[in-house]
Amino acid sequence: MMRAMAELQTRDRDTPLDELLAILDADGGVIIRDLLDEEARQAIVDDLSDAYGGTAPGSKSGSEQWEVFHGQNTIRFCGLAARSRAFVDHALLNPVFTAMTDEVLHGVGTDYWLNTSQVMAVGPGEPAQYLHRDENNWPEAINDEREVTLSCMFALSDFTFENGATAVVPGSQRLPAGVMRGHEVDPEDVAYAEMPAGAGMVYSGKVVHGAGENTSDEWRYGMHVSFVAAWLRPEEASPIAVDRETAATLPERARQLLGWSSYHSDGGGRTWLLDFEDVADLFESAG
Ligand SMILES: O=C(O)CCC(=O)C(=O)O
């Protein structure tokens, strides 16, 4: 494995939004320090510790393609909003990530919602994941002129080249549609999202990336959160993971992002209704 020649840029969380968006546009990804402060990061780690300890590495998919993709020594589990209120308050509603998403997905429909919240903890000896683009989940919606999804990889532990920091090909977001899973690139064109715990990398749905190889003897504890245009079906069925009782305890915007509200298109169409009513009406008397 070669060390990278390509690089990703890193900024502080109070960097002006325009600057973060300009780097995202140029490179396809930007690392932001302290997206989670230490208290929030620790609270999320504590809330997820039972699931983390209770999840065997490897894929549950039963499909060879997904088993390779998920990795044999990588711990993955979803439904983080059901497991951690700190996740909701600090990651799902993260002010920097959501402000960036507001801009990037603005105009691609009237709103977006959670695609998936997923622990991606890469274990010692795990080979590099094959490179891919997140937007390939929705091949019918791909359009070179617009994004339909935006992701953030939060570092719950330090990310290093040795422990499997996410591999990213800066600039690859400009390649035309047709980049498929397993895309091959020159190793010199690959950058690695090396970042301290608490930082996060926000990255385009079009940028070619994948988990790096873990040659160390430690676990790289990542937490992926992604949003998708609200007229597309997300990877994760959030309102099944987060039940109505739990949803009622959450802020209104969190409920919307988790699918506990309906979608109103610009043209007046309404989808994801409950007997013709907006799902959000279920919580009318809730705070
Ligand atoms: O774990 C990582 O660094 C990236 C993983 C990824 O892109 C994925 O599983 O979709």
Structural domain spans, the chain:
10-236
pLDDT of residue 33: 98
* Amino acid letter, 60: K
Q: Write down the architecture of domain 10-236 according to CATH.
A: Sandwich (2.60)
Written as six digits, the tokens of 146 are 């617009």
In this structure, are residues 159 and 222 in contact, taking their beta carbons and an 8 Å threshold? yes
Which one of 120, 132, 154 would you pick to mutate in the ligand 1 pocket, going by the greatest count of ligand atoms within 8 A of its CB?
120
Q: Tell me the C-alpha distance between 280 and 276, whole Å.
A: 12
CB-based contacts of 139, cutoff 8 Å, min separation 6: none
Residue 287: pLDDT band (50, 70, 90) is very low
Q: Mean of the per-residue pLDDT values for the chain? A: 95
Written as six digits, the tokens of 242 are 């987060």
% pLDDT > 70, the chain: 97
Smallest CA-to-CA distance from 172 within 30, 31, 27 is with 27
Q: Tell me the C-alpha distance between 262 and 3, whole Å.
A: 46
Nearest CA to ligand 1 atom 2: 211
Q: What would the pLDDT profile of 142-152 be if each residue is shown by its tens digit?
A: 999 999 999 99
pTM over 0.75: yes
pLDDT of residue 177: 87
- Lookup result for tokens 């780097």: 23
* Average pLDDT value for residue range 231-246: 97
> Does 75 sit in the ligand 1 pocket, CB within 6 Å?
no
> Does 123 sit in the ligand 1 pocket, CB within 6 Å?
no
